[in-house]
Amino acid sequence: MIYGIALLLFILGLSTGIPAIPQLLRMREIKKNSSTTTGIVQLNTGAHPNAGTTTGMMSSILGKVNHPQFLYKTPDEKELTIEVIDSSTFQTYRYKSGETVEIIYDKNAPWLAYVQKEWDNAFRDLWKAGGEVLIAAILLALGLIFKLPA
Protein backbone atom coordinates (compact mmCIF):
# COMPACT_ATOMS: atom_id res chain seq x y z
CA MET A 1 0.00 0.00 0.00
CA ILE A 2 2.72 2.45 0.96
CA TYR A 3 4.60 1.69 -2.27
CA GLY A 4 1.51 2.44 -4.33
CA ILE A 5 1.04 5.77 -2.57
CA ALA A 6 4.71 6.58 -3.10
CA LEU A 7 4.41 5.75 -6.80
CA LEU A 8 1.29 7.91 -7.17
CA LEU A 9 2.98 10.83 -5.40
CA PHE A 10 6.03 10.44 -7.62
CA ILE A 11 3.86 10.50 -10.76
CA LEU A 12 1.97 13.51 -9.41
CA GLY A 13 5.28 15.29 -8.79
CA LEU A 14 6.43 14.60 -12.34
CA SER A 15 3.13 15.77 -13.83
CA THR A 16 3.33 18.96 -11.79
CA GLY A 17 7.00 19.74 -12.33
CA ILE A 18 7.70 18.74 -15.92
CA PRO A 19 5.33 21.32 -17.50
CA ALA A 20 6.81 24.07 -15.29
CA ILE A 21 10.37 23.56 -16.55
CA PRO A 22 9.86 24.64 -20.21
CA GLN A 23 7.71 27.54 -19.02
CA LEU A 24 10.47 28.78 -16.74
CA LEU A 25 13.12 28.34 -19.41
CA ARG A 26 11.04 30.32 -21.94
CA MET A 27 10.37 33.07 -19.43
CA ARG A 28 14.02 33.22 -18.40
CA GLU A 29 15.01 33.66 -22.04
CA ILE A 30 12.55 36.55 -22.41
CA LYS A 31 13.76 38.10 -19.16
CA LYS A 32 17.38 38.39 -20.38
CA ASN A 33 16.54 41.43 -22.54
CA SER A 34 13.26 42.52 -21.05
CA SER A 35 11.20 45.52 -20.23
CA THR A 36 8.11 45.81 -18.08
CA THR A 37 4.71 47.27 -18.77
CA THR A 38 1.20 46.87 -17.45
CA GLY A 39 -1.57 45.00 -19.20
CA ILE A 40 -5.30 44.69 -18.80
CA VAL A 41 -7.04 41.34 -18.55
CA GLN A 42 -9.83 40.53 -20.97
CA LEU A 43 -11.60 37.22 -20.60
CA ASN A 44 -12.56 35.49 -23.84
CA THR A 45 -16.27 34.95 -23.85
CA GLY A 46 -16.69 34.32 -27.56
CA ALA A 47 -14.88 32.29 -30.17
CA HIS A 48 -11.20 31.61 -29.80
CA PRO A 49 -9.40 33.55 -32.58
CA ASN A 50 -7.04 30.69 -33.51
CA ALA A 51 -9.23 27.65 -33.17
CA GLY A 52 -12.52 28.90 -34.52
CA THR A 53 -14.40 27.28 -31.66
CA THR A 54 -15.93 28.59 -28.50
CA THR A 55 -13.39 28.17 -25.69
CA GLY A 56 -14.06 31.17 -23.47
CA MET A 57 -15.35 28.96 -20.71
CA MET A 58 -15.54 25.35 -21.67
CA SER A 59 -15.86 22.24 -19.61
CA SER A 60 -12.85 20.03 -19.30
CA ILE A 61 -12.49 16.68 -17.64
CA LEU A 62 -11.39 18.09 -14.27
CA GLY A 63 -13.01 21.52 -14.22
CA LYS A 64 -13.33 24.72 -16.16
CA VAL A 65 -10.85 26.31 -18.54
CA ASN A 66 -10.63 30.03 -19.19
CA HIS A 67 -8.50 31.84 -21.77
CA PRO A 68 -7.70 35.33 -20.46
CA GLN A 69 -6.04 37.68 -22.92
CA PHE A 70 -3.70 40.39 -21.72
CA LEU A 71 -3.64 43.62 -23.71
CA TYR A 72 -0.47 45.68 -23.35
CA LYS A 73 1.31 48.49 -25.15
CA THR A 74 4.99 48.75 -25.98
CA PRO A 75 6.83 52.09 -25.72
CA ASP A 76 6.27 52.68 -29.44
CA GLU A 77 2.50 52.42 -28.78
CA LYS A 78 2.01 49.02 -30.44
CA GLU A 79 -0.88 47.21 -28.85
CA LEU A 80 -0.22 43.50 -28.40
CA THR A 81 -1.97 40.61 -26.68
CA ILE A 82 -0.87 37.39 -25.05
CA GLU A 83 -3.04 34.59 -23.79
CA VAL A 84 -2.70 32.02 -21.04
CA ILE A 85 -4.78 29.03 -20.07
CA ASP A 86 -6.30 29.57 -16.66
CA SER A 87 -7.75 26.25 -15.53
CA SER A 88 -9.41 25.44 -12.27
CA THR A 89 -11.43 22.63 -10.73
CA PHE A 90 -13.33 25.32 -8.87
CA GLN A 91 -15.30 28.31 -10.10
CA THR A 92 -12.56 30.81 -9.26
CA TYR A 93 -9.87 31.81 -11.72
CA ARG A 94 -6.52 33.53 -11.28
CA TYR A 95 -7.54 36.54 -13.38
CA LYS A 96 -10.56 38.79 -13.43
CA SER A 97 -11.70 40.87 -16.38
CA GLY A 98 -10.37 44.44 -16.17
CA GLU A 99 -7.59 43.52 -13.72
CA THR A 100 -4.23 45.22 -14.26
CA VAL A 101 -1.21 42.89 -14.38
CA GLU A 102 2.54 43.25 -14.88
CA ILE A 103 3.76 42.08 -18.31
CA ILE A 104 7.41 41.26 -19.02
CA TYR A 105 8.33 41.40 -22.72
CA ASP A 106 11.46 41.12 -24.83
CA LYS A 107 12.65 44.57 -25.98
CA ASN A 108 13.75 43.22 -29.37
CA ALA A 109 10.65 41.07 -29.90
CA PRO A 110 7.80 42.62 -27.88
CA TRP A 111 5.37 39.87 -28.94
CA LEU A 112 7.41 37.48 -26.77
CA ALA A 113 5.96 38.20 -23.35
CA TYR A 114 4.62 36.65 -20.19
CA VAL A 115 2.62 37.73 -17.16
CA GLN A 116 4.69 38.10 -13.97
CA LYS A 117 2.08 36.08 -12.09
CA GLU A 118 2.76 33.13 -14.43
CA TRP A 119 6.47 33.22 -13.47
CA ASP A 120 5.46 32.98 -9.82
CA ASN A 121 3.01 30.16 -10.54
CA ALA A 122 5.61 28.16 -12.48
CA PHE A 123 8.07 28.46 -9.56
CA ARG A 124 5.32 27.41 -7.15
CA ASP A 125 4.58 24.35 -9.29
CA LEU A 126 8.26 23.42 -9.37
CA TRP A 127 8.55 23.65 -5.57
CA LYS A 128 5.31 21.71 -5.15
CA ALA A 129 6.62 18.99 -7.49
CA GLY A 130 9.84 18.78 -5.48
CA GLY A 131 7.84 18.33 -2.28
CA GLU A 132 5.69 15.61 -3.82
CA VAL A 133 8.73 13.68 -5.05
CA LEU A 134 10.43 14.11 -1.65
CA ILE A 135 7.38 12.73 0.19
CA ALA A 136 7.27 9.82 -2.27
CA ALA A 137 10.95 9.08 -1.56
CA ILE A 138 10.36 9.23 2.21
CA LEU A 139 7.40 6.82 1.96
CA LEU A 140 9.43 4.44 -0.19
CA ALA A 141 12.33 4.57 2.28
CA LEU A 142 10.00 3.92 5.23
CA GLY A 143 8.50 0.95 3.42
CA LEU A 144 11.94 -0.49 2.70
CA ILE A 145 13.37 0.23 6.19
CA PHE A 146 10.43 -1.39 7.99
CA LYS A 147 10.14 -4.17 5.37
CA LEU A 148 6.47 -3.47 4.74
CA PRO A 149 4.71 -5.86 2.37
CA ALA A 150 4.07 -4.74 -1.20
Whether 56 is in a domain gets the answer yes
Whether 86 is in a domain gets the answer yes
Q: What is the model's pLDDT at position 53?
A: 41
Give yes or no for residue 4 having a pLDDT over 70: yes
In which domain, by residue range, is 86 found?
A: 2-145
24: nearest Cα among 105, 123, 102? 123
Whether 46 is in a domain gets the answer yes
Counting the structural domains of the chain, the total is 1
Q: Pick the range with the lowest mean pLDDT from 41-45, 104-108, 119-123.
A: 41-45
CA-only gyration radius of the chain, Å: 20
DSSP assignment of 100-148: EEEEEEESS-TTSEEEHHHHHHHHHHHHHHHHHHHHHHHHHHHHHHTT-
Q: What is the model's pLDDT at position 85?
A: 76
Q: What is the model's pLDDT at position 64?
A: 62
- Mean pLDDT in residue range 77-104: 82
Whether 45 is in a domain gets the answer yes
Whether 35 is in a domain gets the answer yes
Whether 79 is in a domain gets the answer yes
Give yes or no for residue 52 having a pLDDT over 60: no
Q: What is the model's pLDDT at position 22?
A: 95
Q: What is the model's pLDDT at position 94?
A: 80
pTM value is 0.77
Between vectors from CA 66 to CA 19 and to CA 9, what angle results, nearest 5°?
Answer: 35
Whether 150 is in a domain gets the answer no
Q: What is the model's pLDDT at position 90?
A: 52
Per residue in 120-137, pLDDT (tens digit) is 989 999 999 999 999 999
The span from the CA of 28 to the CA of 20, in Å, is: 12
